[in-house]
Amino acid sequence: MPALQSASRPQRVLLFIHSLHGGGAERVAVDLSAHWARAGRDVMVVTQAGKEDDAYALDPKVSRAVLNTVGEGGGLRGIWSNVRRVRALRRVIREFRPDIVLGMMTTASVLSVIAGAGLGCRVIATEHTHPPSQAMSGFWQRLRRWTYPKAARVVALTSGTAAWIETHVPGSRLAVIPNPVHWPLPQAEPRKYPEPRPGRRRLLAVGRLHQDKGFDLLIQAFEQLASAHPDWDLVILGEGGERAALEAQLRQSGMQDRVWMPGRVGNVGDWYASADLYVLTSRFEGLSNTLLESMASGLAAVCFDCDTGPREVVRDGVDGVLVRPNGDVPALCAALDAVMGDDAMRARMAAAAIDVRDRFSANRVLARWEELFDGVTRAGR
Report domain extents, the chain.
12-180+361-379, 201-359
How many Cβ atoms sit within 10 Å of the Cβ of residue 138?
7
Res 301 pLDDT > 50: yes
Q: What is the pLDDT of residue 109?
A: 98
Query: Is residue 24 very low, low, confident or very high in pLDDT (cuts 50, 70, 90)?
Result: confident
pLDDT (average), residues 246-273: 96
Most confident of 17-26, 279-288, 317-326: 317-326
Res 75 pLDDT > 70: no
Q: What is the pLDDT of residue 74?
A: 60
Q: What is the DSSP string of 48-112?
A: SS-STT-SSPPPTTSEEEE--------HHHHHHHHHHHHHHHHHHHHHH--SEEEE-SHHHHHHH
Q: What is the pLDDT of residue 4?
A: 45
Contact 344, 162 (CB under 8 A): no
Q: What is the pLDDT of residue 2?
A: 37
**Residue 184, preceding bond cis, omega within 30 degrees?**
yes
Name the amino acid, one letter, at 142. Answer: R
Contact 275, 295 (CB under 8 A): no
pLDDT (average), residues 129-147: 92
Q: What is the pLDDT of residue 357?
A: 97
Query: Is residue 1 very low, low, confident or very high in pLDDT (cuts 50, 70, 90)?
Result: very low
Most confident of 131-140, 186-195, 214-223: 214-223
Whole-prediction pTM? 0.90
Which helix (H) or strand (E) segment holds residue 63: the answer is strand 63-66
Query: Is residue 189 very low, low, confident or very high in pLDDT (cuts 50, 70, 90)?
Result: confident
Nearest CA-CA partner of 285 in 263, 266, 320, 313 = 313
Res 66 pLDDT > 50: yes
The pLDDT > 70 percentage for the chain reads 96
Query: Is residue 94 very low, low, confident or very high in pLDDT (cuts 50, 70, 90)?
Result: very high
The pLDDT > 90 percentage for the chain reads 85
Reduced to 3 states, what is the DSSP secondary structure of residue 175?
A: strand
Reduced to 3 states, what is the DSSP secondary structure of residue 270?
A: helix
**Residue 98, preceding bond cis, omega within 30 degrees?**
no
Q: What is the mean pLDDT of the chain?
A: 94
Res 7 pLDDT > 70: no
pLDDT (average), residues 266-277: 97
164 Cβ contact partners less than 8 Å away, ≥ 6 residues apart: 130, 131, 132
Res 286 pLDDT > 90: no
Rounded to whole angstroms, the Cα distance separating 243 from 378 reads 49
How is residue 316 annotated by DSSP? B
Q: What is the pLDDT of residue 182?
A: 81
CATH architecture for residues 201-359: 3-Layer(aba) Sandwich (3.40)
4-13, 89-98, 208-217: range with lowest mean pLDDT:
4-13
Contact 30, 120 (CB under 8 A): no
Query: Is residue 187 very low, low, confident or very high in pLDDT (cuts 50, 70, 90)?
Result: confident
Reduced to 3 states, what is the DSSP secondary structure of residue 329?
A: helix
Res 5 pLDDT > 80: no
- The answer regarding whether domain 12-180+361-379 maps to CATH 3.40.50.2000 reads yes
Query: Is residue 73 very low, low, confident or very high in pLDDT (cuts 50, 70, 90)?
Result: low
Fold matches, 12-180+361-379 and 201-359: yes
